[in-house]
Structure 1
Amino acid sequence: MSDTQMIPQIELYKLLRALSLAMDYNRSGLMRHHQRVALICSYLAEEIQLDPDLLPQLFCSAIIHDAGTSTFKEKADLERFETINPWRHCKRGHQLLSKMPILKPLAKVILYHHDRWDGQNQSGLSGSSIPLPSRIIFLADRVDVLAYQTGNILDYRQEIVDQINEQSGTMFDPELVHVFNKVSSKESLWLDLTSQFMDSQLGRRLHTCPVITSEKEIIGVSKIFADIIDSKSPFTYRHSRLVAETASLLAGQAGFTGRQQKRMYIAGLLHDLGKLSIPEEILEKPGRLNKQEYNVIKHHTYITHQILSMIDGFEVINQWAAYHHEKLNGEGYPFHLTGADLSVGSRIMAVADIFSALVEDRPYRKGLPRHRVEEIMNHMVATKSIDGEIVHILMDNYREAEILKEGMPVNWAN
C-alpha cells in the first residue's frame, strides 16, 4: 500500500464483526456468540419492524455487546442462563465505548443489555424505560446461551422457547417474548445459528451501519480493542499500547511517513488480537512454558492474521501485526517466513514487541534494565532472529522508548 493510498471506507458493522470474533473464544474454542446474537436480533427487529434509525445501533451493539469481558472466567460466568452480577461487564463495556465518538451511541445500549424487565437492576431501570435495543439484545443473548448445545438444534428448540416463556414479564419484555415465539417457529432461525454460512447470512440480513471514514476513527476503535486484549491479564495491562507507540516511534526514525506511522500504530494496537483465544493460566504462568503450552501460544498470531484479513484495506497492517513472531532466519511462527519475506514494517513490529515484553513486568520477573535488554536483543541479532538496523534505531532512541513505557504516548496519534 503506497503512502498516497488511503485505507478505504469501512462499514462500522463489518469492522466490529471481524474484531469481535477474537472475543468469541472460550475454553471450548470459537463460539461465534456475538454473531449469533446479532443474527437473532435481526430476526426480532424484522418481525417488529424496528425503526430503521435504530437498526444500525442495534446491530453494531449486538456484535460487540460483551466488550466488557476479556477472561475465560468472565465468559464462563455469562454462559449461565441467570448470570451473577452482569452489571460489572456492562459498565466496563459502556466505559470503553464512551471514549470513541462513533461508538458512543452503542455505549448506552451495552450498559443496559442485561437489565431485567421486572426492574431488579443496578441501573435503576425497569420495563419500557430500558432502551429497546438493550431489551432485544438481552433476549437474543440469553436465547443463544440456551441454544449452544451439542446435537441437532431442532430437537431441543422447544425447550429453549419454553424456558424463555417462563421468564416473560420477569427477565424479558413480554411483547418481545411474544415476537420471539413467532420467529422461533421458523426452522431457518435455528439452522442459521448453526450454519457454516453465518457470515453470508449476516451480510444479507443486516442493514448498512455508519461508515468509518478516517484513520483517526480506526485508531479509536483499535484502541478500544487494545484495552480489551490487555485486560486479559494484569501483566499486559498496557502492552498493546506500548508496542504501538514504540513501533510508530521506530517507524518514524526509519523514514516512514506520518500516514505510515499511523498504520503502524493501528497494527501495534491489534498485533495481539489472537491472545483473546489463549487461557489466562498460560499467559500468566510464572515459569517456562512446556511444549504443549507453547504450541497453544503459537495460535495467537495465526488468529490475528485470519481476523485482520477479513478487513478491507488492512492488508499491510495485517502483515505488520501478524508477523511479529516471525524471524529473519525462518525459525519464527506460525508461517516460518524468512528475511526475504519480511518487510521493514514487520521487522519493526517484532523489535517493538520484544522491547515491550522485556521492559514490562511479567509473572516470572520484573521488567529488565537497559543493559539486559541490549544483551538479549544483540544476541537475537547475532542469531539472525531480528533486524540489527532496527535494534540500532531503538538503542539510539532508547530514552524516548522508556518515556513511552512510563505512559507518556506520542501526540500525533491522538
Structure 2
Amino acid sequence: MSTAPKIQLYKLLRSLSLAMDYQRNGLMRHHQRVALIASYIAREMQLEESDLPLLYCSAVIHDAGTSTFREKANLEKFEVQNPWEHCQKGAALLHNLQILAPLSEIVLHHHDRWDGQNPSGLAGNAIPLFSRIIFLADRVDVLSHQPGNILDHREQIMQKISARAGTMFDPDLVDIFLQVARKESLWLDLTSEFIDIHLSKRLRTCPLVTGQDEIIGISRIFAEIIDGKNPFTYRHSRLVAEVAALLARRAGFDPVQQKNMYVAGLLHDLGKLSVPEEVLEKPAGLSKQEFNIIKRHTYVTYQILGLIDGFEEINQWASYHHEKLNGQGYPFHLRGEELPPGSRIMAVADIFSALVEDRPYRKGMPRHKVEKILGDMVDGGSIDGDVVQLLASHYQEAVSLKDKASEGLRRPPDADIK
C-alpha cells in the first residue's frame, strides 16, 4: 500500500503558484515577491507568528483569479482599471475548500482602496488588514520591475507609494512600509535568485499540513486556473483526471495511487500557464516555432512539481504524458521501460480526453474514430496497447465522465476517488 503525501500548505502553494507567475516576459515570481514584502511589513508591525501563515498563504495565491497573459498585463499597471473581477473569481475558487476558505475574503478585497471607491462598499479599517497589506505589497512589486539595480529605484518607489497614502493605501501601513524600505536587504531579497530560500527562512513556522484530500481540493483549484487559460478546453484537466483515475482503478492501483493519479491528471498541464494564449488558441496547424513553445509546457510542469516533496510519483505521471514508448515524445525522449505504468495511463487519458471534447473547429469524435486514432498510435509505438484495451473495455464509463468533469470544483474533495 502506498503512503499518502503530507505537505506543508505554504510550500505546496508557493510551488504551484510559480505557474501563475509566467508572463510574456518570462517567470516573474510575482506571488513570492508579494509574500516576501508582506512578511517584511508584518515583522515590522510585530504581528503574531501565528498570523503569518494566513497572510503568507493569501499573498502567495492572491491572483488565483487570473489565467491569461492578457489579464496579467492589466495587473502590471500601477493603477489598475477594474481589478475586481479577478478578485471575485479568485475568492470564489478558494471559498469552497475548507483549508483555503479563510483566504477567500482576503483575496476578495486585495485591491480595495483605502478611500472606499470599491464595489465591496468597504473603506478604511473595514477592509481586512491582510488585504490592505497585500494590496500595498502587490503595488510595490509592480513598481519594482525596472531595469538595472533596484536600489537605484528605491526612492522613486517610496515616493510614489507615499503620495497615495490615505487614497489608495492605508496611511499607517505606508508609514510602516517606508521604515522597512530603508533596509537594503528588502530590495536585495526581492530581486535575489535566492528568494525562495529567504521566504523559507522567514516563514519556517507555518504549521498547516495538507493531507491527500486537501491536496486534491487545491489541485482542483489549479486545474480551474489552468483550464481558464483557454476557453476551448475549459474542463480538459478535470476530464483527464477523471479518466486517468478510472483507468488506474480498473488497472488495480491501490487507493492512494488512484488519488495520486487524479492529482496528476489535474496538474498535468500546469506548465501551459507559461504558454501564450495565441498559441494555445490557434485553430490551424502550429509552426515549428509555435510547437517548440508548446513543448516547453511539460518541462515547466516537471520542474514545478519537482519542488514539492512527496510528489515524486505524481510528477512522473503528470509530466511524462507527451513521452512515447518509441522515444519520439517530449521533452525527455524517454522510451519503453523508462515510462512507468501511471505515465502510460496518463498519456492515453490525455489523448482520449482531447479527442472526445468539443472544439470550436469540430465536435467531439465518435467512438470508432477515437479507437482508430488510438489504435494507430499503438501500432506506431507511441502509446501502450494494454492501456488502450483497458479503455476500450470501459469506454462508455470513460465517456460519461465528461459531464462529471463539468461539475468542476463543487464536489467534496474525496467524492468518488476511491
Please state which band the TM-score falls in when normalised by the shorter chain: over 0.9
Q: Distance in 1 between matches of 2:210 and 2:53?
A: 16
How many angstroms does 1:259 deviate by?
1.6
Partner of 1:73: 70
Partner of 1:403: 400
Moved more, 366-375 or 295-304: 366-375
1:412 and 2:416 aligned: yes
Q: Distance in 2 between matches of 1:293 and 1:367?
A: 24
Runs of 4+ aligned structure 1 residues displaced above 3 Å come to 408-411
Q: Distance in 2 between matches of 1:406 and 1:112?
A: 33
1:156 and 2:153 aligned: yes
Contact residue 263 and residue 317 of structure 1 kept, 8 A: yes
Deviations 1:51-80 (A, max 9, x none): 333211100000000000000000000000
Q: Distance in 2 between matches of 1:395 and 1:4?
A: 27
How many angstroms does 1:213 deviate by?
4.0
For 1:137, the aligned partner's letter is I
Partner of 1:250: 247
Deviations 1:302-325 (A, max 9, x none): 000000011111001100000000
Residues 123, 210 of structure 1: CA spacing in aligned structure 2 closer, same or farther, 3 A cutoff?
Answer: farther
Contact residue 113 and residue 169 of structure 2 kept, 8 A: yes
Partner of 2:119: 122
1:174 and 2:203 aligned: no
Partner of 2:262: 265
How many angstroms does 1:206 deviate by?
1.6
1:390 and 2:394 aligned: no
For 1:249, the aligned partner's letter is L
Q: Distance in 2 between matches of 1:203 and 1:46?
A: 15
Per the normalisation by structure 2, the TM-score is 0.96
Q: Distance in 1 between matches of 2:71 and 2:52?
A: 28
1:38 and 2:35 aligned: yes
Q: How does 1:201-216 map to 2 (within 5 A)?
A: 201-216=198-213
How many angstroms does 1:411 deviate by?
4.1
Residues 56, 411 of structure 1: CA spacing in aligned structure 2 closer, same or farther, 3 A cutoff?
Answer: closer
1:333 and 2:337 aligned: no
Q: Distance in 2 between matches of 1:298 and 1:113?
A: 35
For the residue of structure 2 that corresponds to 1:92, the secondary structure is: helix
Partner of 2:24: 27
Q: How does 1:55-94 map to 2 (within 5 A)?
A: 55-94=52-91
How many angstroms does 1:361 deviate by?
2.0
For the residue of structure 1 that corresponds to 2:147, the secondary structure is: coil
Contact residue 30 and residue 141 of structure 2 kept, 8 A: yes
How many angstroms does 1:329 deviate by?
0.2
Moved more, 191-200 or 45-54: 45-54
Contact residue 2 and residue 257 of structure 2 kept, 8 A: no
For 2:195, the aligned partner's letter is M
Q: Distance in 2 between matches of 1:285 and 1:368?
A: 19
For 1:5, the aligned partner's letter is T
| CA RMSD in angstroms, aligned pairs only | 1.2
Aligned mate of 2:374, from 374, 377, 384: 377
Per the normalisation by structure 1, the TM-score is 0.97
Q: Distance in 1 between matches of 2:74 and 2:282?
A: 22
How many angstroms does 1:270 deviate by?
0.5
Deviations 1:132-175 (A, max 9, x none): 10000000000000001111111111111110011000000000
For 1:318, the aligned partner's letter is N
Partner of 2:411: none
Aligned mate of 1:6, from 4, 7, 21: 4
Contact residue 302 and residue 315 of structure 2 kept, 8 A: yes
1:184 and 2:188 aligned: no
Partner of 2:294: 297
Q: Distance in 2 between matches of 1:113 and 1:366?
A: 40
Q: Distance in 2 between matches of 1:363 and 1:156?
A: 47
Aligned mate of 1:138, from 135, 140, 143: 135
Structure 2: gaps (5+ residues): 408-413
Deviations 1:248-270 (A, max 9, x none): 10111111122211110010000
> How many pairs does the alignment contain?
411
Identity fraction in percent: 66
Contact residue 9 and residue 210 of structure 2 kept, 8 A: no
Deviations 1:223-272 (A, max 9, x none): 11011101111111110110000001011111112221111001000000
Deviations 1:68-115 (A, max 9, x none): 000000000000000011110000010000111000000110000000
Deviations 1:275-302 (A, max 9, x none): 0000111111010111000000001000
